[in-house]
Amino acid sequence: MKVLLAGGGTAGHINPALAIASCIKRHEPSAEILFAGTPDGMEARLVRNAGFEFTPIQVKGFWRGFALEDIKHNIKTVQYMLTSPKTAKKILNDFQPDVVIGTGGYVSGPILFMAQKMGFKTLIHEQNAFPGVTTKTLAKKVDVVCLAVEEAKKLLKIAGKTVITGNPVRESIIYKTKAEARRELGLDDKVCILSFGGSLGAITINRIAADLMEWHQDTDAVNHIHGYGQLGVEVFPKMLKDRNVDLASHPRIDARQYIDNMDTCLAAADLVICRSGAITLSELEVAGKASVLIPCPTVSENHQYHNAMVLQNHHAAIVIEEKNYNKKEFIAIVKDLCMNPEKLLELSRNASALAVFDTADRIYREVRTLVGA
């Protein structure tokens, strides 16, 4: 079997593609797999590091704005729009895949469009509860649409085949236990808060973490792990200083730029405070974690808000929009959760009820059915 995957731009599009590819190779070691992505995107590095073949195709999205840099970028975007169909056609002709899989991002557009036009079997996987423009357009003609949640199906309104598969997550997230994680981190059985805003970091999440640390720094009842990200390297220490929080004298607070052992920290946590990217939420569900979600308001089509509301509507998380953040009210919510284990447990159980553990295998079965058709 020969499989061509297209997806990139963010880890939320790349990691599902890698999980699907790994699952296919696990079931069929002889399968030939090729990734198509932008040569200067994250996918070029991550795909090669994972040991898969990579072929480049230049695609960019438009920037909003009229600054000189925006105009230059958008001119280049138009140039790539004109050349990408020819590149996509060459990739398909040279590789001759049995099936073409798109996992989102601008790069999946030209590859899947051309694959449809040339008569190749096609499948797309949408990670978000609110399908993006690319998915909505492609879904009208692809053979199979795999969705993370049932709510997305209602928004697509297509007659073709849709399958609820969930989002692929790392196996270490599934199997790491709380007891094991706490031993590794040297934590006791007190409540543990985990907060983060991604590898870059998020100013709002950093401010929230600093506010919480100001509240709990003098209590012996809370452990707190926070990842402040690249954008917080200079800003976060100043936030702590403004709140008279001295990390050196508070061993229960662990603040670092990047959380490189997320599986362990997530397993150890009782409450997670974070954004609501699709893969992050799937990991919260699989790990069975209570969470307070602060959707990023600048993400296209407000995806993160729609993702977060799926959990809140199932009583599996509390959603607070950035524009509504109030320090006193937020601390009261977190304090209430920390002091009432039964409330944390209820959120945790409801999150677990939403989890899908065999996403990659579900997608593989659809791929195998397509190829055998």
Do 172-353 and 2-167+357-372 fall under one CATH topology? yes
Q: What is the pTM of this model?
A: 0.82
Give tens-digit pLDDT for 263-299.
999 999 999 999 999 999 999 999 999 999 999 998 8
pLDDT at 26: 93
pLDDT at 153: 87
Q: How far apart are CA 26 and CA 33, in angstroms?
A: 12
Give tens-digit pLDDT for 180-217.
999 999 999 999 999 999 877 899 999 999 999 999 99
List helix spans (H) across the chain.
Answer: 11-27, 42-49, 68-95, 108-118, 133-138, 150-156, 171-175, 178-185, 203-216, 235-242, 262-268, 278-287, 303-313, 327-339, 341-353, 359-372
List the domain boundaries for the chain.
2-167+357-372, 172-353
pLDDT at 248: 92
pLDDT at 65: 73
Q: How far apart are CA 316 and CA 162, in angstroms?
A: 25
pLDDT at 242: 97
pLDDT at 208: 98
pLDDT at 76: 66
Q: How far apart are CA 237 and CA 247, in angstroms?
A: 9
Residues of the chain with pLDDT under 70: 60-63, 66, 70-71, 73-78, 80-82, 159, 373
Say which CATH topology domain 2-167+357-372 has: Rossmann fold (3.40.50)
pLDDT at 59: 73
pLDDT at 134: 81
Question: What would the CATH number be for the domain defined by 172-353?
Answer: 3.40.50.2000
Produce one character per residue of 300-312: b if its CB has 16 or more CB atoms within 10 Å, e if not. eeebbbbbbbbbb
